[in-house]
Structure 1
Amino acid sequence: MNKRLSLTLTLLLLTTILEACGSGSTTTSDPAPSAGAASTKAPAKAAEPVTITFMHFKSDVTDGIQKIVDQFEKQNPTIKVEVQPVKYDDYYTLLKTKMASGDVIDIFTLNAGSQTKLFADGGYLMDISDQPFMKNFEPNVIKEQATDGKNYLMPVNSSPIAVFYNKKIFKDLNLEIPKTYDALMAAAKKIKDSGKTAFALGWKDAWTMKMWEERDFPSNTGLIANQPDFFSKIEKGTAKFADNPAVKTTIEHVKQLYDYGNKDQLGVDYNGAVDLFAKGDAAMMYMGTWPLADLEKKNPDLYNNNLGYFPYPFSNDEAKNKLEFNPDASLAIGSKSTHKEAALKFLAYMGSKEGGDAWVTNTKLLSYVKGTNTNIAPAINDLKPYIDAGKIYNSQIYVANTSIDWSTQFSQNLQKFIFNKMTPDEIVKDMDAWVEKNHK
């Protein structure tokens, strides 16, 4: 991990976890005319009511986002926000379809990287680089989310990606937090031998499996196989899966997760996996902070007393198994929006300390806004030692500048392997054939 990225994430996390103080935005009204002076101003014209659309892929926290929108509308009575939540698996397909058909969306979520570049190159995004609210974020965060030197995104939430665990189950089985991959599997075996499920898996929703795969594979590629430029070479067609030992590592890992997971992993969706974990039927769940609001609602005792969180140990090199920390949803304004002023007011609210705190409170997710509240769940405190020691990294730096969709093909092949329809060697051969066909 390069020093600049490490410093960026450390500054960001210290800003949030240590709850640095921040000041809210203020507005200044026109000075009142002096006593006895006649006003020369014409009466202000009432603002015309306007409706803006807001499409997002955070459908798992739909209710929380609606509460934030309600707060914004209360402060801006002439602006109505029409919220359109979409499941992540369907989101980009729908967004691209709408854009191509001329269906204008005023505000929408994007992931930094290849998706943002795709829409920026198509001329669909408004440049917000010089907007005042962008100063409410760490400069390095803004810089890292830039596309070709311009900022089309405003960061919204940040998230560790780690393993939730049931402390009671671990205590009953005398298990310690695993620091290596083999230790994780040893713990999983002991949990399964006790009659419980080790991992809650909701792989019916493709994104949940891809989320794991797109971190296990790049982590082992960049940090263990020492091929940090592998994915950029894949983009150019100058690398082969056959020359990357991390491919078979991830293939082995997916089968082990499957074997220690709940029944019908490919028939259970994200919500089903959260339910299994909330009920205490599964001891661990690899996930970002997104299910916290549901866990608090479904099992307050687990949430408050027995919910733990530890970094996913992707390898057997304990020194390299650091805490994964990634940017998640960011906001963009459509370049073809006819309500840019209203859309900018919404982003300004979301980028203020008030809006950031509202995000944390209502979604149980961390905000990138400087000085926002970080008290989202007791389990988050488990990560503080890793933050304080600087043991953090971002696996997505290895895939940030690539747009070729290797992960969908790889995910399909992993599923075939699970059901003994492909061997590891056949997956490697198929991926190299796919790359040869699809690289630029």
Structure 2
Amino acid sequence: MKKRIAVALSMFIIASLILAGCGGAKNSSEGQKAAGQEKVTIRFAHWRGEDLEAFNKIIQQFQKENPNIVVNQSVETSEQYRTKIQAELQGGEGPDIFATMPGSDFAALSSANAYVDLSGSSFLGNFNPELLKPGQINGKQYAIPYQLVYNIPVYNKDIFQKYNLEPPKDWQGFLALCQKLKDNGITPIILDSEIGFGQFINPMLMNNMPSGDTLSKVQKGEAKLTDPWFVTTLKQFKELNDKGYFQKDVLGTKKAGAAALFAQGKGAMLAQGSYMMATIKQQNPNIHQGLLAPITVPADQMKYEGIHTATFMLGINSKSKNIEAAKKFLEYLFRPDIASQYANATGQLLTVNNVKYDSPELTEQSKWLSKKTLFQPRYMITVREVETAVTNAIADVLSGMSPEDAAAKAQKAVDMVVKKQ
């Protein structure tokens, strides 16, 4: 009898110890999770492959400070990214942190409730409030514009100096500049069909449009692409093309190819934007670059000197399971010291306050902070079909269609959008 009692008591003690051990492990796990010790992985998606190395270094630093957060970076080319990110996020999936362009892309994802509302976040105090507006809807901050870009041609200062050329102040001066370059065997403007039309249309439109928001009126049916301001702009594209001021096979030239031609000194101007200056410098360390915009009107009718965009807008996926970790990474990116590191590694001017720039390209871009520039007109369009109609009109003109017919074709596409509204 005593033996049975002893065995039973031993089994009870062992069972109690096992249960206590299990309970202790559970409590330890829950305590670790509550203290933020559980390792999480977040995905950061964007389209700037040229920034991959710079972000990798920043991510490594962040992970040292935050060992329980792993950041995986995924990058696609511009057009692939636009299509993929829309499909992922509208399907209820996608990365934890993602970059967006202003305009139609941001509008579409906002309508799909893809963003976490970042209003009231402490890191917003690190920014120029005016430059945050492209990421706002009804006063709420859904995305944070990180880069300040000038969507105007980059020009080769060495070529300009060789032929005693200065950025022109009117349309006739711009044509004369192009002709002198062509006469000396230099292609005046390198234009690509991948992103170039969407970039170069902005400075070409800025002084031709009746107002800065004319393109937003087009998609509402309050203005038309068949109106004189747009037809005139297409006629000016035709004039540049007819006079041989673009390189051969514009429609077959991609973004990277255009950049390579410009870096090799095969053209005097690259019709993209300030975001390309660092890439060009990497390809040709000896090049000296500046920024200019074609003024499409007489000098006394000029309203704007150039185009700016607050872009590369960073947001957090509303379906993310790691929102707090994502916020922590954004907060890190927006620190002035980290923003300075990113800016100087990539050659990008930023929207963050107190960033220190140390490259000639960024010094050149910062000169434009005091100039009168218009927010990129193309990003005033929030319907992608309208945006496509505008840029396709340029391709049509360069393919041989008359400006009037190209404008009429584009307006038909817009009319279909207006009818659905």
**TM-score exceeds 0.5:** yes
Contact 1:146–1:153 (8 Å) recurs in 2: yes
1:213 and 1:50, CA in 2 relative to 1: closer, same or farther beyond 3 A? same
Q: How does 1:25-36 map to 2 (within 5 A)?
A: none
1:353 maps to what in 2? 336
Unaligned runs of 5+ in 2: 1-30
Query: CA-to-partner distance for each residue in 1:15-49, whole Å, 9 max, x for gaps?
Result: xxxxxxxxxxxxxxxxxxxxxxxxxxx99957122
Cα distance change on mapping 1:405 and 1:395 into 2, 3 Å: farther
8 A contact 1:72–1:349 mirrored in 2: yes
Find runs of 4+ consecutive structure 1 residues off by over 4 angstroms: 42-46
Deviations 1:256-297 (A, max 9, x none): 444312222222211111111111111111332222222222
Aligned to 1:368: 351
Find out whether 1:216 has 2:204 as its counterpart. Answer: yes
Aligned to 1:240: 224
- Gap change, CA 1:399 and 1:89, over 3 Å in 2: closer
Rounded to whole Å, the distance in 2 between the matches of 1:415 and 1:399 is 19
Deviations 1:179-208 (A, max 9, x none): 2222122111111111111112222x1x22
Following superposition, the deviation at residue 139 of structure 1 comes to: 2.6
Aligned ranges 1:143-222 → 2 under 5 Å:
143=133, 145-203=135-193, 205=194, 207-217=195-205, 219-222=206-209
CA deviation digits over 1:241-270, x for unaligned, max 9? 23x212122212323444312222222211
Q: Where does residue 383 of structure 2 map in the other structure?
A: 403
CA contact (8 A) 1:235 1:404 kept: no
Which structure has more helix as a fraction of its residues?
2
Within-5 A mapping of 1:110-149: 110-143=100-133, 145-149=135-139
Between the aligned partners of 1:424 and 1:292, the Cα distance in structure 2 is: 32
Partners of 2:151 and 2:202 within 8 A in 1: no
Counterparts of 1:212 and 1:400, CA distance in 2: 15
Change (3 A) 1:256 1:127: same
Matches within 5 A, 1:219-230: 219-222=206-209, 226-230=210-214
Aligned amino acid, residue 53 of structure 1? R
Equivalent in the alignment of 1:38: none
CA displacement, residues 350-390 of structure 1 (integer Å, 9 cap, x when unaligned): 11112211221221101111100133324743762x544xx
Change (3 A) 1:382 1:330: closer
User: In the TM superposition, what is the alpha-carbon distance from 1:53 to its structure 2 partner?
Assistant: 0.6
Partner of 2:413: 434
Aligned 8 A contact 1:68 1:362 in 2:
no
Local SS of the residue matching 2:292: strand
Letter in 1 for 2:135: Q
Q: How many matched pairs? A: 385
2:278 aligned residue: 293
Per-residue deviation, 1:122: 1.4
Decide which structure has the larger Cα Rg and report it.
2
Q: How many angstroms does 1:340 deviate by?
A: 0.7
Amino acid at match of 2:94: V
The root-mean-square deviation of aligned C-alpha atoms, in Å, is 2.4
User: In the alignment, what sits opposite 1:381?
Assistant: 364
Give the Å deviation of 1:129.
Answer: 0.5
| Residue number in structure 2 paired with 1:254 | 237
TM-score by length of 1: 0.80
Tell me if the contact between 2:152 and 2:293 (Cα under 8 Å) persists in the aligned partners: yes
Q: CA deviation at 1:339?
A: 0.6
What is the alpha-carbon distance in structure 2 between the residues aligned to residue 364 and residue 383 of structure 1?
11
| Distance in 2 separating the partners of 1:379 and 1:344 | 28
